[in-house]
Structure 1
Amino acid sequence: MKSEFIWSKALEISKKAVNCGAVIPLNTIKYKYSEKCFDFELRFLKSPIPKYLIEYGPKRNPFIPWDTRLHILPINDKHTLILNKYPVQIGHILLITNCWKPQNGWLNEDDFEAILNVDNDTTGLWFFNSSKEAGASQPHRHFQLLPRHFNENICPRYEWFCSLLNNTIDTNSEISHCISIRPRNINKDLYSNDLFSSYKSMAKEMKIGDIDLINKPLKPYNLLITPEWIALITRKTDRSNGFSINALGFAGYFLGTKRSDVDTLIKFGPERILKDVI
């Protein structure tokens, strides 16, 4: 069992941040299915999406400096944990680089070491969106964590990714060809280097590029990291059937709007939506 000190602190700070307006939770309604349980979760916003979230381009970098009311704690001299200003889940955590690092550049071993430092205390679903085309809302490097308790379901499509890892996936999958997945090494002493090595090998496998030979990735991509595996998904666009898709879409989380083709999602499942963004 992990101590979950970081998560507890994030929740404590969230209460103060919500009260002073530094955190603005996105209130949602969970769609209730009348039939069988699906491998996705669909929610709808009760109010319009904040304008700041849908504008990507020249604007003030919110991470230099970051809002001190969102500060959780430093991880090392290169990374800091802060709260997500617009969370659907209270306690949604961002791991940001203290100095400017591009979101669309190569990740480095320091990034994975910082993830490990957090993960040893508070784990859950980590995700990374490499660029606008992969669903990123900010060009400054940041990783996101949705904390989960021990034995709590990581995400709706967790078992699907496990079957992909174990080579038992349905051959009719419409998206598996754009996903590379590796198991996580449980040896903590080797972990950051091991995870970084997995990242580099997956990038080569999916033809994103050789980190030792080119300056930046050749394609947009997402990362999903759980206690058991790390997965890399190549991308070409951020929208499909009226849905805005980032890494959470592949994890099974969808946020619907008036423009979203909800009927297609419900009738055919998430892969029908996701296949158009890879």
Structure 2
Amino acid sequence: MVAEGLHKLALQHSQEALENGALRPLSTDIETWAGSGDGGFEIRHLVGAPPRHLREAGPKPNPFRPWDQRLELTRVGNEHVLILNKYPVQLGHMLLISQSWQPQVGWLSLLDWTAVCQVNRDTGGLWFFNSGPQAGASQPHRHLQLLPRTKGVRLCPREEWFQQHLLNATCSRPMDSLERSIKIKPLPVTWSGSALLEIYLDLCQQSGLGSPQRDEKPLHPYNLLISTRWMTLVKRSCDEVHGYSVNALGFAGYLLSTERSNRTWLAAHSPEALLMKVVATDP
């Protein structure tokens, strides 16, 4: 049985961080979109000006060296710390960051995956990773993100789509255009850092990202989405299209619309068409 102690701790700290101003949730109006097939979307229309981390600007200070102590939840091993996301998608939104400098664009290591397993033994949910600016990452310091999910709560709007994608991938069934662009592999019932690392590197190899034995860093930007059952990798061509900046959560069914977003285009073409414009497809 998962204890979910970290989730409870995150909710408790979130209330304190709201009161002292360390936490700044985005104010949004939510629009649901049925999508096609098994995939749905939540389009979150931002109310007011975008926060600093979403604005186009020059170099930004590293918010994780040092991290805001008011957001810290717990140390994870000797190399990582779990903190609250300052601009949470939901209350309890967590970041697993490296304590020392590690680049977001570098290879995820055994230490990273071991830390993921340590957190996940207590609190699971939707893990995701944006490998760099072209994949929607707003910070260059290594961080993985977790949206906790309690039993019976839907993982994300496109959960059924990923379940069908996994079935199609393991049974060699016909795939739609997005499925053909996204690699997915099942996960073992019991996680270990070495098992997750092996699956991650296999997905990287399948997607043409290279390997740490030959390449200093992955050859292309990418996103990861991880549930209890599967890990999926999305090879990216660009971060933004038609004013929508898309990170890993876009493929999970969560899109953020700002004053720069072309809502008319989205209504005419669909969120799936938007996603296809930011994935890297093989020639």
Fold shared per TM-score above 0.5: yes
**Identity over aligned residues, as a percent?**
44
Alignment partners' CA distance in 1, 2:266 and 2:39: 10
**Range 146-155 or range 36-45, more displaced:** 36-45
Shift, 1:78, TM fit: 0.5
Distance 2:273 2:85 in 1: 29
Alignment of 1:149-228 (within 5 A): 149-167=150-168, 171=174, 173-188=176-191, 191-228=192-229
Separation of aligned partners in 2, 1:175 and 1:239: 17
The 1:144–1:56 alpha-carbon spacing in structure 2 relative to 1, beyond 3 Å, is farther
Match of 2:67 in 1: 66
* Matched ranges for 1:1-278 at <5 A: 1-31=1-31, 39-55=40-56, 58-167=59-168, 171=174, 173-188=176-191, 191-278=192-279
C-alpha distance in 2, partners of 1:27/1:185? Answer: 37
Q: CA 1:167–1:21 in structure 2 vs 1: closer, same or farther (change >3 Å)?
A: same
Deviates most, 139-148 or 259-268: 259-268
Unaligned runs of 5+ in 1: none
Distance between the aligned counterparts of 1:32 and 1:140, measured in 2? 32
**Alignment check: 8 A CA contact 1:28 1:88 kept:** no
For 2:29, the aligned partner's letter is I
> Matched residues in 2 for 1:263 and 1:156: separation?
22
Structure 2 portions without partners, runs of 5+: none
Q: SS of the counterpart of 1:230?
A: strand
**Secondary structure at 1:255 match in 2:** strand
Matched-pair contact (CA < 8 Å) for 1:264–1:272: no
State the secondary structure of the residue aligned to 1:175: helix
C-alpha distance in structure 2 between counterparts of 1:155 and 1:179, whole Å: 17
TM-score, normalised via structure 2 length: 0.91
What is the identity, as a one-letter code, of the residue corresponding to 2:184?
A: I
Moved more, 127-136 or 257-266: 257-266
Q: Secondary structure at the match of 2:177?
A: coil
Q: Name the CA distance, whole Å, in 2 between partners of 1:108 and 1:33.
A: 37
- Output the CA distance in 2 between the equivalents of 1:21 and 1:44: 23
Shift of 1:271: 1.5
Query: 2: CA distance between counterparts of 1:33 and 1:40?
Result: 5
| 1:31 positional shift | 1.6
Q: Are the equivalent residues in 1 in contact too, given 2:95–2:143 (CA < 8 A)?
A: yes
Helix, strand or coil for the counterpart of 2:50?
coil
The amino acid that maps onto 2:150 is H
Higher mean Cα deviation, 35-44 or 4-13? Answer: 35-44
1:264 Cα deviation from its structure 2 partner: 4.2
CA change 1:207–1:249 in 2 (3 A) is same
C-alpha distance 170-178 of structure 1, shift in aligned 2 (>3 A): same
Alpha-carbon distance, 1:105 to partner:
0.4
Q: Distance in 1 between matches of 2:197 and 2:181?
A: 20
User: Counterparts of 1:228 and 1:246 in 2: how far apart (Å)?
Assistant: 21
Give the direction of change, closer, same or farther, for the CA distance of 1:104–1:32 in structure 2 (3 Å limit): closer
Task: State the Cα deviation string for residues 165-209 of structure 1 (Å, max 9, x = none).
Answer: 111798563322221111111134xx2211110111111111000
Question: How far does residue 241 in structure 1 lie from its aligned partner after superposition?
Answer: 2.0
Q: Is the 8 A contact 1:56 1:137 kept in 2?
A: no
Of 158-167 and 33-42, the range deviating more from structure 2: 33-42
